[in-house]
């Protein structure tokens, strides 16, 4: 079996790694891939948004199905094009992907479907947005409506911070087209978790929750990033919370998308705020999250390959066995100096020897002309350790990440700090 993995980050490395573990006979082709994925299969230098080129590659290679990692090709219609060509593909159509690619679409759909979420209004005019900030008061959330690489959400603790965010997006063009429309949203109090669900459009296979750490600094300080680390499982995701998430979030959302004529197939990601009134949706993503995927997949003891293949082929996953999990995982992101701002690539990397129970997923690496492994992005590695306890997983993840060496390297050493504080309070 051949599988084409579209993308070249840590998420795609983790997906390729898991699919090969599920069936070592699988041949992985990645486009564009990265040096980590190259150790598992063959990388082809095609951009993730070169939809015609990727379809031609899938057809010429006779791949069994294609897995689309990033959101940009989904937004560009890769799934629609592949299906028109009769090619099996895992992911949603461009219309269904609007659940992530247009926060306005997602908010309107949730409110119409009765999915619990924060109230919000949408603006293209900065003065009108500022007036709504004053109506709501601080704290308040300002979001770029389009795709902004995980950085387009600003939790403003003061009116002045909200004004600055609006100016940056609507007047300063900080996120390009993605920020030409903004949402001014009610602030929700609580703790946030990420819950993934595999779906054929009707039936779902939920995964255990993970918790991402967006802020650059320890103790969740500083600007938002694409994610500085994640851990799983999360103890505040009780069976009752899981039930509410399925009944009140995933099922009505999928039903609303079907009713809108754009059934969602693939991986639906719900970012949830656990409020005093129950779980509420912060946002949806239309694909596997990053770095949560790197924390979750090493804990998954059952097959991901089989349900993914079924969904890609348009088959039902009704009656599929629930996913099985074991252990605890912590993923520590090793980032380049300057991240989440401007970073400089090309710094030579030294990696520590392999360690049992620790997997280093390549997120932003390349080979230079001499074959040396070098940095090539803001988030360079996702170092995942699995242990019997979260404390053990965190200790091993940080220790291994500390031994990754390149100029300007930065990382957080406190991934999972809330969970560890909870466990310390438990008698």
Shared domain check, 305 and 195: yes
Shared domain check, 195 and 175: no
Per-residue confidence in pLDDT tens, the chain, 427 aa: 999 999 999 999 999 999 999 999 999 999 999 999 999 999 999 999 999 999 999 999 999 999 999 999 999 999 999 999 999 999 999 999 999 999 889 999 999 999 999 988 999 999 999 999 999 899 999 988 877 666 688 888 999 999 999 999 998 877 777 678 899 999 999 999 999 999 999 999 999 999 999 999 999 999 889 999 999 999 999 999 999 999 999 999 999 999 999 999 999 999 999 999 889 999 999 999 999 999 999 999 999 999 999 999 999 999 999 999 999 999 999 999 999 999 999 999 999 999 999 999 999 999 999 999 999 999 999 999 999 999 999 999 999 999 999 999 999 999 999 999 998 876 5
The answer to whether the bond into 291 is cis (omega within 30° of 0) is: yes
CA atoms within 13 A on the CB side of 47: 7
Shared domain check, 352 and 298: no
CATH of the domain at 361: 3.90.600.10
Q: Say if 68 falls within a structural domain.
A: yes
CATH of the domain at 131: 3.30.1490.20
pTM (whole model) above 0.95: no
Q: Say if 317 falls within a structural domain.
A: no
Shared domain check, 285 and 343: no
Chosen domain end from 68, 90, 112: 90
Q: Say if 97 falls within a structural domain.
A: no
Rounded to an integer, what is the distance from CA 44 to the centroid of its chain? Answer: 23
Contact by Cβ (8 Å): 143, 150: no
Rounded to an integer, what is the distance from CA 102 to the centroid of its chain? Answer: 16
Q: Say if 321 falls within a structural domain.
A: no
Shared domain check, 408 and 334: yes
Residue 43 φ/ψ, nearest 5 degrees: -105, 140
Can you tell me the distance from the alpha carbon of 239 to that of 116, in angstroms, rounded to the nearest whole number? 18
Domain count, the chain: 4
Contact by Cβ (8 Å): 15, 297: yes
Chosen domain end from 180, 213, 245: 180
Q: Say if 110 falls within a structural domain.
A: no
For residue 333, what are the domain limits? 328-425
Shared domain check, 203 and 300: yes
Shared domain check, 170 and 262: no
Chosen domain end from 70, 90, 110: 90
Q: Say if 231 falls within a structural domain.
A: yes
């Amino acid at each position: 079996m051949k599988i084409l993995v579209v993308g070249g980050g840590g998420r795609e490395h983790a997906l390729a790694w898991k699919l090969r573990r599920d069936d070592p006979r699988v041949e992985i082709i990645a486009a564009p891939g990265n040096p980590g994925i190259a150790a598992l299969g063959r990388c082809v230098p095609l951009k993730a948004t070169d939809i015609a080129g990727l379809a031609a590659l899938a057809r010429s290679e006779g791949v069994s199905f294609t897995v689309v990692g990033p959101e940009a090709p989904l937004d560009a219609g890769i799934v629609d094009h592949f299906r028109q060509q009769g090619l099996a593909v895992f992911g949603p159509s461009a219309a269904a992907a609007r659940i992530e690619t247009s926060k306005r679409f997602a908010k309107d759909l949730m409110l119409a479907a009765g999915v619990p979420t924060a109230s919000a209004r949408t603006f293209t005019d900065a003065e009108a947005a500022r007036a709504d900030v004053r109506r709501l008061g601080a704290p308040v959330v300002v979001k770029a409506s389009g795709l902004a690489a995980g950085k387009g959400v600003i939790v403003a603790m003061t009116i002045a911070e909200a004004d600055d965010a609006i100016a940056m997006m609507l007047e300063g063009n900080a996120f390009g087209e993605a920020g030409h429309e903004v949402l001014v949203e009610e602030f929700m109090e609580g703790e946030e978790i990420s819950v993934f669900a595999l779906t054929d459009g009707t039936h779902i296979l939920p995964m255990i929750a993970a918790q991402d750490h967006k802020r650059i600094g320890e103790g969740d300080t500083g600007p938002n990033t694409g994610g500085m680390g994640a851990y799983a499982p999360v103890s505040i995701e009780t069976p009752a919370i899981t039930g509410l998430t399925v009944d009140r979030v995933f099922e009505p959302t999928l039903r609303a998308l079907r009713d809108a004529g754009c059934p969602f197939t693939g991986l639906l990601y719900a970012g949830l705020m656990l409020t005093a009134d129950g779980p509420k949706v912060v946002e949806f993503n239309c694909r596997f999250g990053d770095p949560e995927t790197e924390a979750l997949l090493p804990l998954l003891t059952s097959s991901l390959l089989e349900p993914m293949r079924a969904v890609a082929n348009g088959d039902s996953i009704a009656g599929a066995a629930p996913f099985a999990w074991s252990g605890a995982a912590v993923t520590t992101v090793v980032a380049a100096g300057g991240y989440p701002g401007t970073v400089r690539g090309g710094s030579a990397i030294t990696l520590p020897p392999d360690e049992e129970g620790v997997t280093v997923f390549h997120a932003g690496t390349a080979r230079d002309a001499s074959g040396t492994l070098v940095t090539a992005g803001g988030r360079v590695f996702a170092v995942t350790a699995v242990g019997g306890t979260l404390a053990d997983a965190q200790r091993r993840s940080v220790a291994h990440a500390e031994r990754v060496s390149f100029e300007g390297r930065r990382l957080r050493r406190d991934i999972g700090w809330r969970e560890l504080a909870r466990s310390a309070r438990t008698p």
